[in-house]
């Protein structure tokens, strides 16, 4: 399946922490869509804002509310993900990508709620949590799920052809990112599950062959794969992005120390680096291998060889980067 427009553009976004990077990008995309719809499909935009804010009376037909991402609250260190301001309403929106509300997040929501303007300034004020989960917190005035947004996008009467294309790509992106918690199980379920299991077993054998170590299962809610005996290497698949097989290296678990990060590049592409995410605060490096139509067209022995060559190149890059000094 071809990537959506938004998934393609994400590849050019910057940032270190994966969750923060994804969340900020999703926020920027959604704000862009809302503002574009206000300009070219205003009635549909106001309908969507009604679902988002849990109240379709906040903004009138004769106004165009301002919608801004990451606007700091004056005089504070707090920055809501989205701020929406109309003639008689102000809304702070906290966007979540793949993270539940913990105690620290709940306290932040309370602070946002306290910072909403008093009723002498605007008639309506709202704090909205936009997430994919069913959250127990009672702090926000409204809790909207990405599933609600996607359903509304399906029913909107949109006139602008460009907007139609952008909205379809955004719905596709939400699905790619696993933001729609409940989706229809179709007739590819059984074959897909068997293929996934075959990929998992193949990854184990390739990992042990390429790295010369036994492996054990490494399973998390968002990841399934294999960890080497020395715990320095992981290989596997993230459920949110199943079209990629990942090779990952933890400098904190290894005796190798990276002296030149430039040597880690493969075909000119840098690995994703996560400082302070490895064992004992060291750096974690990740290389993806796209599982595309070419890969699926190969025989199983050829698929094994393709993955083996990729893992070996990652291993060799690590060895080279840890054996040469920076110039």
Q: At what angle do helices 146-155 and 161-176 cross, to 10 degrees?
A: 150
Cα 120 to Cα 65, 125, 291, 313, distances in angstroms: 19, 11, 57, 64
- C-beta separation of 48 from 153 below 8 A: yes
Q: How many whole angstroms separate alpha carbon 238 and alpha carbon 140?
A: 30
pLDDT at 56: 85
Pick the CATH number of 189-321 from 1.10.10, 3.30.1460, 2.60.40, 3.40.50: 3.30.1460
Is the pLDDT score of 216 beyond 90?
yes
- C-beta separation of 58 from 50 below 8 A: yes
What are the tens digits of pLDDT across the range 241-256? Answer: 788 899 999 998 887 8
Q: How many whole angstroms separate alpha carbon 258 and alpha carbon 270?
A: 14
pLDDT at 327: 40
Is the pLDDT score of 202 beyond 80?
yes
Q: How many whole angstroms separate alpha carbon 299 and alpha carbon 198?
A: 13
What are the tens digits of pLDDT across the range 47-84? Answer: 999 999 988 888 888 888 999 998 888 777 778 899 99
- C-beta separation of 166 from 130 below 8 A: no
What are the tens digits of pLDDT across the range 89-147? Answer: 889 999 988 778 888 888 888 888 887 766 546 678 888 999 988 777 888 888 999 98
pLDDT at 318: 94
Is the pLDDT score of 185 beyond 80?
no
Residues in CB range of 296: below 8 A, 6 or more apart = none
pLDDT at 326: 42
pLDDT at 2: 59
Average pLDDT over residues 22-32: 92
Count Cβ neighbours within 10 Å for each residue of 230-252 and write b for 16 or more, e otherwise.
Answer: eebbbbbbbeeebeebbbbbbbe
Average pLDDT over residues 40-49: 92
pLDDT at 247: 95
pLDDT at 307: 96
pLDDT at 1: 44
Per the prediction, the chain carries an average pLDDT of 86
Give domain limits for the chain.
5-176, 189-321
pLDDT at 98: 78
Q: Which pLDDT band holds residue 324 (cuts at 50, 70, 90)? A: low
Count Cβ neighbours within 10 Å for each residue of 198-220 and write b for 16 or more, e otherwise.
Answer: ebbebbbebbbebbebebeebee
What are the tens digits of pLDDT across the range 264-320? Answer: 998 877 888 887 777 888 888 999 998 888 998 999 999 999 999 999 999 999 999
Longest dimension (CA), the chain: 71
Q: Report the 10 Å Cβ neighbour count for 100.
A: 13
């Amino acid at each position: 399946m071809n990537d959506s427009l938004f998934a393609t553009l994400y590849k050019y976004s910057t940032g270190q922490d994966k969750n923060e990077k994804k969340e900020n990008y999703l926020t920027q995309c959604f704000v862009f869509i809302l503002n574009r719809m206000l300009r070219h499909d205003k009635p549909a935009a106001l309908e969507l804002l009604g679902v988002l804010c849990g109240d379709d009376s906040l903004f009138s037909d004769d106004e165009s509310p301002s919608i801004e991402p990451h606007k700091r609250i004056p005089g504070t260190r707090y920055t809501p993900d989205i701020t929406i301001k109309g003639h008689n309403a102000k809304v702070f929106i906290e966007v979540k990508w793949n993270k539940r509300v913990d105690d620290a997040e709940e306290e932040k929501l309370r602070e946002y709620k306290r910072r909403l303007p008093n009723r002498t300034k605007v008639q309506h004020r709202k704090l909205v949590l936009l997430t994919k989960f069913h959250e127990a917190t009672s702090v926000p005035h409204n809790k909207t799920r990405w599933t609600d947004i996607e359903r509304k996008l399906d029913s909107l009467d949109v006139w602008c052809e460009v907007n139609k294309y952008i909205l379809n790509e955004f719905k596709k992106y939400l699905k790619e990112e696993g933001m729609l918690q409940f989706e229809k199980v179709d007739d590819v379920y059984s074959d897909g599950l068997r293929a996934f299991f075959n990929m998992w077993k193949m990854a184990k054998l390739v990992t042990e062959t390429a790295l010369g170590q036994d492996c054990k299962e490494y399973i998390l809610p968002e990841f399934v794969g294999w960890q080497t005996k020395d715990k320095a290497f992981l290989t596997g698949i993230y459920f949110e992005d199943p079209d990629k097989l990942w090779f990952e290296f933890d400098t904190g678990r290894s005796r190798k120390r990276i002296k030149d990060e430039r040597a880690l590049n493969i075909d000119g592409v840098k690995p994703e680096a996560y400082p302070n995410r490895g064992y004992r605060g060291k750096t974690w490096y990740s290389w993806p291998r796209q599982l595309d139509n070419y890969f699926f067209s190969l025989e199983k022995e050829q698929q094994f060889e393709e993955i083996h060559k990729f893992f070996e190149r990652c291993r060799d890059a690590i060895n080279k980067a840890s054996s040469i000094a920076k110039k």
